Structure 1
Amino acid sequence: MKTSADQLISPVYSKAGRWLALGLLATSLGGCAWLGGGDKPELKDLGPNPGLLAVHQAWTVKLGAEVPLASTVHVQGETLFVVTKDGAVTALDARTGAQSSRFAVGEPLTAGAGSDGEHVAVLTRSNQVAVYVQGQQQWKQSLAAAAYTPPLVAGGRVFVLGADRTISAFDAGNGRKLWAAQRPGEPLVLRQPGVLMAVGNTLVAGLSGRLVGLDPDSGSVRWEVPLASPRGTNDVERLVDLVGTVSRVGDSVCARAFQASVGCVDARTASVRWTQPSKGSDGIAGDEQAIFGAESNGTVQAWRRVDGSRLWSVDKLQHRRLTAPLQLGRSVIFGDDYGVVHLFAKTDGQALARLNTDTAGVAAAPVAVADTLVVVSRSGTVYGFRPD
């Protein structure tokens, strides 16, 4: 089934007067994910819980409001930052689930929070970036367009990737704008988290189908490498963007280009190590040996990190709308739209265990912190699991 523009959330019109963003339902261009009309696709029988890993629920926390789909959970030390639809940011102790802080921004947010442990940066629906310290707003600056990627707070600065493909840097202490760098690109971008990260002393961002390394002090481009190129005859068909999450091991950075490919680059030599076709819409995870991700139809894939050759695939989770994965120890972990968390062996894809949250569905890729597997439901309930 081919996805039309009508099956994507309506575009958002920016201050500059350009069509900048198409929101993504958890579906695929050219895929067959259920869009809410007609009968749901038939799910494969998962069989009994294999129970090869003994895991127990250590704690739960109710945030009091729903969590946006495709939100991200920010981890800083042993603290989790989770945003809710009402514009609140809650910090939780990952060991106990205890709330360490909570503040209300006053309007809905367009992405998860970013933090360096002191400054917490958020992006608002009115196209502003704001920074809070101990729950108090320190400053707020307007952006030229919406932003859907969590801010990166590092080195005393706040970096923002905008939907107009502008990367901006602000002083974390006083909000002074330090620089802005804009790259021309296709008129459409995804309304979901992209790539914005630090690799050594380089700021790395996903712009269209490229990974771009910038000088964090000036915004000048140090290198750029392509993972995918636009194709098709119209703006929707030519849409290409890199999506979070990514997998970094040393200088190796691996990422997904939406509905196009998965690949790895060498950030030291600014070269592409490999790319492989892949029709997925969410990020990937990995370790020194392999990277893992899901196709839009729910097929789980593993690729060898060194050359991109296929290692294994699992098709039992088709049509379950999987999150981006987490690679943890011997496991690869996905959440699904039915509130189930699936643990597979990273070596061969064998099912190891299943964990249940609630039927609202998993909102974001699971995260691991303080020996705890943390899963956030769209209902606004946060679950902490630990091995027995």
Structure 2
Amino acid sequence: MPDKSPLPARLGAAALSRRRCTLWLSAAVLVLAGCTSGSKKPQPAPLEPVVPLVPVRAVWQLPVGAVDALLVPAVQGTTLAVANAAGSVMVIDGDSGQVRWRADAGAAFAAGVGFDGERVALVTRDNELVALTARGVAWRQRLPARVYTAPLVAGRRVFVLAADRSLSAFDADNGARLWNQASRGTEPLVLQQPGTLTAVGHTLVAGIGGRLVGVDPDSGRLRWEAVIGRTRGATEIERLVDIVGRVGRDGDVVCARAFQAALGCVDAAAGRLLWTQAADGATGVQASAEHVYAVESNGRVLALARADGRRVWAQERLLHRTLSAPLAIGRTLAIGDAQGHVHLLARADGTLVNRLTTDGSPIVDGPLRVGNTLVAVTRNGGVYAWRPE
């Protein structure tokens, strides 16, 4: 079956505002033909010495093989699931670093990881949805459209958000297709980076264009939708808007980013938009009862009041370092960069309180909390674990 997905746009957030791109029309879709830089790329802010006000010790380290940017690791409790680009999966105990089980899909991976503690779900470069357990490949299912977002494994189902902005559900035991919800969107371009797919209670929450939608996981019926970011600009590239990366969650409140457009929070139980505001960024967010933490395209780190989006503090010592999504862990905020560092900031005021190093390659998606352990996975395939002392 031919791939009818919208054309993926690979440009990063800061790049879109600096580049002029040529578009041409082919088969009723806009095709990104080429881009030229409009200005010199800013240099990363130099790393200043950091006094380790929050002591952290390394506890374990593992090699897993090179990891693509779309292979986002997944956490269930104290267990971490990691996949490499070659098609192997490793499930790791977060406390000890011991490998609980490994499996090989026999094909290179394109997107993942979905994980419920028992099974792992990924999408191969041949566009097959694959479920693996400790016994190996459980089933495969051919997909009609490309996928850039990790599948969600929950409630003995596997949910898939495709690049054509459709949603599908599969039986986690045998791979049978349970339902499919076609997208109502008409956007011809889609970002080739992880989107949003999560569960809040008995509601499937997905990012469709600039909207968060709540879906009945049993039937695929739409329960609610809330607009986080709206399209704008004169060209298809300028109007490109997608919900990207991790969402921040506190109870039923879900906070999300619309690519280069806005940040906002939604009451997922009621399907009610709490607030939204313009924001320039390309990575996911983190939320607590008091704050929403986010990174702007230029590397400015922000803490916003969760109640209304009011700015609480800003940290500008990490500008232009291509920062990852933030992670709140204990009294700190952990953020990775493209040079393999994990920066720890005080959640109270954004002060830099420690810096951790890996192998020098970018941190995939951002640091993770696995039980009481802080974990980072690098593009070169290193898994690094630390614990506050």
TM-score, normalised to structure 1, is 0.91
Name the residue aligned to 1:223: 224
**Distance between the aligned counterparts of 2:13 and 2:234, measured in 1?**
23
Q: CA deviation at 1:37?
A: 12
Q: Percent identity?
A: 46
**Distance between the aligned counterparts of 1:235 and 1:47, measured in 2?**
40
Question: Does the 8 Å contact 2:45/2:321 carry over to 1?
Answer: no
Q: 2:388 matched to 1:387?
A: yes
User: Please, which of 1, 18, 23 is the counterpart of residue 10 of structure 2?
Assistant: 23
Q: 2:369 matched to 1:368?
A: yes
Q: CA deviation at 1:47?
A: 2.2
Name the residue aligned to 1:83: 83
1:19–1:198 CA distance, 2 compared to 1 (3 A):
closer
Q: Which moved more, 1:66-75 or 1:224-233?
A: 66-75
Deviations along 1:314-340, one digit per CA (max 9) or x if unpaired, are 111111000111011111110001111
**Which amino acid letter does the alignment assign opposite residue 133 of structure 2?**
V
**Distance between the aligned counterparts of 1:336 and 1:276, measured in 2?**
25
**Distance between the aligned counterparts of 1:82 and 1:17, measured in 2?**
29
**Distance between the aligned counterparts of 1:221 and 1:301, measured in 2?**
33
Within 5 A, what are the aligned runs for 1:184-195? 184-185=184-185, 186-195=187-196
Name the residue aligned to 1:201: 202
**Which amino acid letter does the alignment assign opposite residue 248 of structure 2?**
S
Name the residue aligned to 1:106: 106
Q: 2:304 matched to 1:303?
A: yes
Q: CA deviation at 1:219?
A: 0.4
Any stretches of 5+ residues in structure 2 without a counterpart?
20-35
**Distance between the aligned counterparts of 1:306 and 1:234, measured in 2?**
34
Name the residue aligned to 1:254: 255
Name the residue aligned to 2:350: 349
Within 5 A, what are the aligned runs for 1:150-165? 150-165=150-165
Question: Does the 8 Å contact 1:28/1:281 carry over to 2?
Answer: no
3-state SS in 2 of match to 1:184: coil
**Distance between the aligned counterparts of 1:134 and 1:340, measured in 2?**
32
3-state SS in 2 of match to 1:113: strand
**Which amino acid letter does the alignment assign opposite residue 223 of structure 2?**
R
3-state SS in 1 of match to 2:269: coil
**Distance between the aligned counterparts of 1:18 and 1:123, measured in 2?**
15
Q: CA deviation at 1:260?
A: 0.5
**Distance between the aligned counterparts of 1:79 and 1:97, measured in 2?**
9
3-state SS in 1 of match to 2:140: strand
1:209–1:19 CA distance, 2 compared to 1 (3 A):
closer
**Distance between the aligned counterparts of 1:284 and 1:327, measured in 2?**
10
**Which amino acid letter does the alignment assign opposite residue 223 of structure 1?**
W
Deviations along 1:45-93, one digit per CA (max 9) or x if unpaired, are 3321221000011111111x21112531100121111111212111111
Deviations along 1:266-305, one digit per CA (max 9) or x if unpaired, are 1122221111211100101121100111111111111100
1:323–1:135 CA distance, 2 compared to 1 (3 A):
farther
Q: CA deviation at 1:343?
A: 0.7
3-state SS in 1 of match to 2:66: coil
Question: Does the 8 Å contact 1:245/1:282 carry over to 2?
Answer: yes
Name the residue aligned to 1:172: 172
**Distance between the aligned counterparts of 1:47 and 1:182, measured in 2?**
50
Q: CA deviation at 1:25?
A: 4.4
1:135–1:320 CA distance, 2 compared to 1 (3 A):
farther
**Distance between the aligned counterparts of 2:18 and 2:60, measured in 1?**
37
**Distance between the aligned counterparts of 2:192 and 2:287, measured in 1?**
24
**Distance between the aligned counterparts of 1:169 and 1:18, measured in 2?**
18
Q: Which moved more, 1:355-364 or 1:168-177?
A: 355-364
**Distance between the aligned counterparts of 2:37 and 2:374, measured in 1?**
30
**Distance between the aligned counterparts of 1:21 and 1:46, measured in 2?**
34
Q: 2:146 matched to 1:134?
A: no
1:293–1:72 CA distance, 2 compared to 1 (3 A):
same
Any stretches of 5+ residues in structure 1 without a counterpart?
1-13
Question: Does the 8 Å contact 2:128/2:143 carry over to 1?
Answer: yes
TM-score, normalised to structure 2, is 0.91
**Which amino acid letter does the alignment assign opposite residue 116 of structure 2?**
D
**Distance between the aligned counterparts of 1:329 and 1:17, measured in 2?**
44
3-state SS in 1 of match to 2:334: strand
Q: 2:330 matched to 1:326?
A: no
**Which amino acid letter does the alignment assign opposite residue 158 of structure 2?**
V
Q: CA deviation at 1:362?
A: 1.5
Q: 2:253 matched to 1:266?
A: no
**Which amino acid letter does the alignment assign opposite residue 301 of structure 2?**
V
Q: Which moved more, 1:17-26 or 1:75-84?
A: 17-26
